[in-house]
Amino acid sequence: MSEHDDGMLDRARTWLAQDPDGETRAELRALIDSAEAGDDAAHDELADRFGTRLAFGTAGLRGRLGAGSNRMNRVLVAQAAAGLAAYVRETAGDDATVVIGYDGRRNSDVFARDSAEIFAGAGLRAVMLPRMLPTPVLAFAVRALDAAAGVMVTASHNPPDDNGYKVYLGGEDGGAQIVPPADQRIAAHIQRVADDGDIAALPRSLAFTTAPESLIDEYIAATAAVAPAPPASDGLVWVYTALHGVGWQTFSRIIEDAGYPAPVVVEQQLAPDGAFPTVSFPNPEEPGAMDLAFEAARTSGADLVIANDPDADRLAVAIPDAEAEGGWRRLSGNEIGLLLGWRAARIAADDGETAGASLACSLVSSPGLATVAEHFGLGFHATLTGFKWISRAPGIVFGFEEALGYLVNPDTVRDKDGLSAAIAMLGMVSEARARGASLGDLLREFADTFGHFASDQVSVRFDDVSQIAGIMAVLRERHPQAIGDVDVDRVDDLLHGDGDLPPGDVLRLWLADGSRVIVRPSGTEPKLKLYLDVRGDSADDAAARIAALADGSRALLDGLR
């Protein structure tokens, strides 16, 4: 056995000695025994688990559950909690507040309690939410409790075997997700804790408190107030699915407070279940995830379908469409974002509050939002991907990203919120009903008013993440001269920033016909993504342009793989 192998086994044994979880201890013990006996598969598995460390970054932590430094587990979470505690004490004082929330994924409650005990053991005022709740409730709690930081244990819409650790900061950050350099400073503290060794030596305390139900009531009231039901909501038939997540218990109360009719619910997906038994991938963007909701919609003759992802920070919407398979079509994130942006801009204009107000979206989202902002005299900001950036746009009244994330109530939650976005959408639909229009009609009215925008996405999943870095390097070295039959006019490389944009691993290609292609690695999955946007003279022209651009983009990627 080589020195490298000896070192890997030593790391595994050290990890085993401090692991407080019986399940992951047994899992790791079996792998060590098999590797020591010469099992190559066990050796490779240990190398994957201990060859690196799950990186703490601007999305916090996210990864597969299991033993090892490259997995989500109680050892890694304890190190993260202790590192975050050190950062909070350093920046906000020894008696600062940290609030902790969790969703219905496997081990979310365990990771949350470990964190609360370690925060309290560090002398901080630790407050745990009273039960599994949506991520937006945790983001709200950071502001409402004037906390220095917040932690949400969730992997959002990732596969069932994943979990994560999302960090928010209070104070001047306003309850938004962490950005550099805070993430780097927290990561340095976490590494020091890991280097010190045994997590059993970390001080713990049971002196944490549980947040009162009144905190949840405040969030529900503020969210219901986003769009109280107009009279035309009477008779609205709609379907809701929680995709086995934590959205329904909170959302049902918001619906009642706002005055909307109760939805037809997808019973099989209503209760939290970390195994996600009815879907292969708990993401409403994935094929098949909303099939049960579409079935319920066909049976009930619904006007629309609304879905949240498992931690309810994202919103999906579908409408009847005779040309779609099964008669229902899920709207794209850009379509929803542009409708909600139109709503927000109109409200700001009607209230005479356009001065200093702005709309914001990630740079990979539809440029149509800039057109809406200009139409109503609002400012506009394009940011790097993620609500950690969108939520910080000056004067923001609405923000979105094409991955089904929407910020419609920035005074309440400085993050994407699938529940407040759902209420805003119900309000739009109900107002349209009052004049005999549907959600499909609203989309056509938007195009008539602002232009025919079309978007698409081409993404490729890789087993080896290094391949993604290789492709990005090739594209930087040799910019494509054309995509399909359209010449590339210029390329913006955002690796070192661009104007108001901080550095990001992003290439933005502008084509001769005004189309745009943005290339970036996914921040949460081993994917390379190309975001495509066109503006056509008509709906048919936009559809033809986006189809041709998608074909050309796929050909470009095929030539690089």
What's the domain range around 43?
1-51
Which tokens is 295 given?
A: 């079935």
User: Same domain for 479 and 553?
Assistant: yes
Residue type, 450: F
For residue 2, give every residue at least 6 positions away whose Cβ sits within 8 Å of its Cβ, in sequence order, or none: none
User: Same domain for 196 and 231?
Assistant: no
- DSSP codes, 435-482: TT--HHHHHHHHHHHH-EEEEEEEEEE-SSTHHHHHHHHHHHHS--SE
Contact 91, 84 (CB under 8 A): no
For residue 36, give every residue at least 6 positions away whose Cβ sits within 8 Å of its Cβ, in sequence order, or none: 9
Q: Phi/psi class of residue 187: alpha, beta or left (left: φ > 0; alpha: ψ in -120 to 50)? A: alpha
d(CA 59, CA 384): 13
The domain boundary, picked from 211, 227, 247, lies at 211
d(CA 135, CA 367): 28
Sign (positive or negative) of CA dihedral 363, 409, 416, 366: negative
User: Same domain for 278 and 412?
Assistant: yes
What is the chain's alpha carbon radius of gyration, rounded to the nearest angstrom? 24
Phi/psi at 138 (5° precision): -65, -45
The domain boundary, picked from 168, 183, 211, lies at 211
User: Same domain for 221 and 355?
Assistant: yes
Contact 289, 243 (CB under 8 A): yes
- DSSP codes, 162-195: EEEEEEEE-GGGTTEEP-TTHHHHHHHHHHHHHH
Task: From 291, 287, 282, 400, select the one nearest 342 (Cα to Cα).
Answer: 400
Residue type, 64: R
d(CA 517, CA 553): 8
Helix, strand, or coil (residue 414): coil
Task: From 404, 324, 413, select the one nearest 362 (Cα to Cα).
Answer: 404
CATH number at residue 512: 3.30.310.50
DSSP letter at 55 equals P
Residue type, 318: A
Task: From 83, 85, 66, 63, select the one nearest 74 (Cα to Cα).
Answer: 66
- Rounded to a whole number, what is the distance in angstroms from the first to the last CA of the chain? 35
Task: From 254, 311, 306, 268, select the one nearest 133 (Cα to Cα).
Answer: 311
Active-site residues, by number, are 156
Contact 148, 91 (CB under 8 A): yes
CA atoms within 13 A on the CB side of 171: 11
What are the residues facing 493 on neighbouring strands?
A: 507
d(CA 306, CA 482): 39
Q: Per-residue b/e over 463-481, b at no fewer than 16 CB within 10 Å?
A: eeeeebeebbeebeeeebe
User: Same domain for 442 and 479?
Assistant: no
CA–chain centroid gap for 131, Å, is 21
pLDDT tens, per residue, the chain with 561 residues: 455 577 899 999 999 999 999 999 999 999 999 999 999 999 999 999 999 999 998 779 999 999 999 999 999 999 999 999 999 999 999 999 999 999 999 999 999 999 999 999 999 999 999 999 999 999 999 999 999 999 999 999 999 999 999 999 999 999 999 999 999 999 999 999 999 989 999 999 999 999 999 999 999 999 999 999 999 999 999 999 999 999 999 999 999 999 999 999 999 999 999 999 999 999 999 999 999 999 999 999 999 999 999 999 999 999 999 999 999 999 999 999 999 999 999 999 999 999 999 999 999 999 999 999 999 999 999 998 899 999 999 999 999 999 999 999 999 999 999 999 999 999 999 999 999 999 999 999 999 999 999 999 998 888 777 889 899 999 999 999 999 999 999 999 998 877 778 888 999 999 999 999 999 998 667 889 999 999 999 999 999 999 999 999 999 988 887
User: Same domain for 387 and 280?
Assistant: yes
User: Same domain for 310 and 406?
Assistant: yes
DSSP letter at 56 equals P
User: Same domain for 483 and 372?
Assistant: no
Residue type, 31: L
Task: From 164, 100, 103, select the one nearest 133 (Cα to Cα).
Answer: 103
Q: How confident is the model at residue 1, as a pLDDT? A: 47
CATH number at residue 105: 3.40.120.10
Angstrom CA distances, 200 to 74, 124, 239, 434, 438, stand at 11, 19, 48, 62, 59
Helix, strand, or coil (residue 91): helix
What are the residues facing 518 on neighbouring strands?
A: 508, 531
Sign (positive or negative) of CA dihedral 429, 430, 434, 436: positive
User: Same domain for 435 and 381?
Assistant: yes
User: Same domain for 259 and 380?
Assistant: yes
**Where does 136-271 show beta strands of DSSP type E?**
149-153, 162-169, 176-177, 209-210, 238-241, 264-265
Total number of domains in the chain: 4
Angstrom CA distances, 74 to 25, 61, 460, stand at 11, 13, 32
Q: The whole model's pTM is what? A: 0.94
The domain boundary, picked from 449, 473, 507, lies at 449
User: Same domain for 251 and 272?
Assistant: yes
Strand 149-153 vs strand 97-102: parallel, antiparallel, or unpaired? parallel
DSSP letter at 67 equals S
Task: With both helix axes pointing from N to C terminus, report the angle between 108-121 and 74-92 in degrees, rounded to the nearest 10.
Answer: 40
Sign (positive or negative) of CA dihedral 392, 393, 398, 400: negative
Q: How confident is the model at residue 4, as a pLDDT? A: 55
Q: How many residues does the chain have?
A: 561
Cβ-based burial of 214 (10 A; exposed 0-12, middle 13-18, buried ≥19): exposed
User: Same domain for 3 and 88?
Assistant: no
Contact 132, 245 (CB under 8 A): no
d(CA 518, CA 402): 13
Helix, strand, or coil (residue 62): strand
d(CA 165, CA 157): 13
